[in-house]
Amino acid sequence: MIDEGADIIDIGGESTRPGFTPVSATTEIGRILPVLRELVSSADVPISVDTMKPDVAQAAIGAGADIINDVYGLRAPGMTELIASSGVSAVIMHMHGDPGTLHSETMEGDAVSEIIDFLKERRTAALDAGIRADRIIMDPGAGFGKSHAQNAEIVEHAGRFSLGHPVLVGVSRKRFLKTQLPDMGADEATAEISLRAVRAGANIVRVHNVAVMRKALEKHLSQTACGQDSDE
């Protein structure tokens, strides 16, 4: 992935896809640490660890993680304090509901405004705990308790979630892509929708197929430099 152009590597030891089975912190740590240690010793890009558990985050930070990517928005007791004391960066993601209901309940009403309000509240909590502003990344949480239409709105309004921080959007291989681009393969659709997010203000996109995304992004940047950017 690094050879294909990844600027950050994100690893995790607990799935959050529909139907996932939660695992213990001990199991999660056992899955993550061997891979993390290898990456820290050999990779020349920042390493992010995807976890919502403070015990796992602490172990990951101790092993050299640069970023904690928390799908629960730093809501677990002690997580903000841990991030603040360690000095690592944190991704604050919006999840509707909690891990047990995130794929069975979807948001109602104005999803974009609700997500912004949540991110504002979590940003305040992070800053109050001592997390540096330049260590915060915002993620509106596409696919986490949102309808297909709401996921499309998140992409369209990606820049609104910034609040002065970089915005991360992760739509890679998610089910709603088929409602947007039914005739495309998963990775090609991921690249196209991720590119829409970039055009709308996203700074970071999380993908599985780096090569396809990098090719699409380079084409976009080339067109933008020439003043030819379009949706064609």
Encode 159-178: b = buried (16+ Cβ within 10 Å), e = exposed.
ebbbbebbbbbbbbbbebbe
Query: What confidence score (pLDDT) does residue 102 get?
Result: 61
pLDDT, tens digit, for every residue of 57-68? 999 999 999 999
pLDDT tens digit string along 178-211? 999 999 999 999 999 999 999 999 999 999 999 9
In DSSP notation, 134-168 reads GGEEEE--TTSS--HHHHHHHHHTGGGG-TTS-BE
The CATH superfamily holding the domain 9-224 is: Dihydropteroate synthase-like (3.20.20.20)
> Any catalytic annotation for residue 123?
no
In the beta sheet, which residues pair with residue 70?
92
CA distances from 202 to 18, 91, 157, 166 (A): 25, 13, 9, 7
Options 122, 146, 160, 174, the catalytic residue: 174
State residue 18's pLDDT score: 67
The average pLDDT across 120-131 equals 98
174 is catalytic: yes
Q: In the chain, what percentage of residues exceed pLDDT 70?
A: 94
- Give the least confident one: 7-11, 20-24, 34-38, 43-47: 20-24
Beta bridge partners of 136: 90
Q: Which of 30-44, 91-105, 130-144 has the lowest mean pLDDT?
A: 91-105
- Of 122, 160, 196, 206, which is the active-site residue? 206
Q: Kindly report the CA angle at 141 between 139 and 147, in degrees rounded to 5?
A: 150
